């Protein structure tokens, strides 16, 4: 059996740090990190139209569970309104 690259505790801490504040990872500025954040945060690729901009995105399963545990209404997903901004 192959030995894990990182200890379970370190992986666990990283996962929970991401779930608690994905915007911190987004702000790292690295394109690779931003692509990972998008894949882990949203269930599907973001939908964009020129007229309306980004559509409301469906969060990935971990964030859906967090929403329900927090008692937020279903379908209203918000990462502190800081995940992506449309610049004009």
pLDDT digits (tens, 9 = 90+) for 24-73: 888 987 899 899 899 999 999 989 999 999 988 999 999 888 888 887 55
Tokens of 43: 């269930």
Where are the domains positioned within the chain? 7-41, 43-78
Q: Cβ distance 26 to 37 under 8 Å? A: yes
Cα–Cα separations (whole angstroms), residue 18 to 11, 48, 54, 73, 86: 11, 25, 23, 22, 23
For residue 33, report the phi and psi dihedrals to the nearest 5 degrees.
-65, -40
Partnered with residue 48 across adjacent β-strands are: 54
- Which residues does 18 contact at the CB level (< 8 Å), separation at least 6? 25, 37, 40
Query: Quick check: pTM over 0.75?
Result: no
**pLDDT tens digit string along 1-38?**
777 777 889 988 988 888 888 998 889 878 998 998 99
């Amino acid at each position: 059996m192959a030995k894990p690259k990182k200890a379970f505790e370190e992986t666990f801490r990283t996962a929970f740090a991401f779930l608690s504040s994905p915007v911190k990872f987004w702000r790292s500025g690295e394109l690779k990190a931003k692509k990972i954040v998008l894949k882990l945060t949203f269930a599907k690729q973001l939908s964009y139209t020129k007229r309306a901009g980004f559509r409301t995105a469906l969060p990935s399963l971990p964030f859906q569970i967090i929403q329900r545990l927090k008692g937020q209404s279903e379908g209203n997903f918000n990462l502190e309104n800081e995940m992506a901004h449309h610049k004009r």
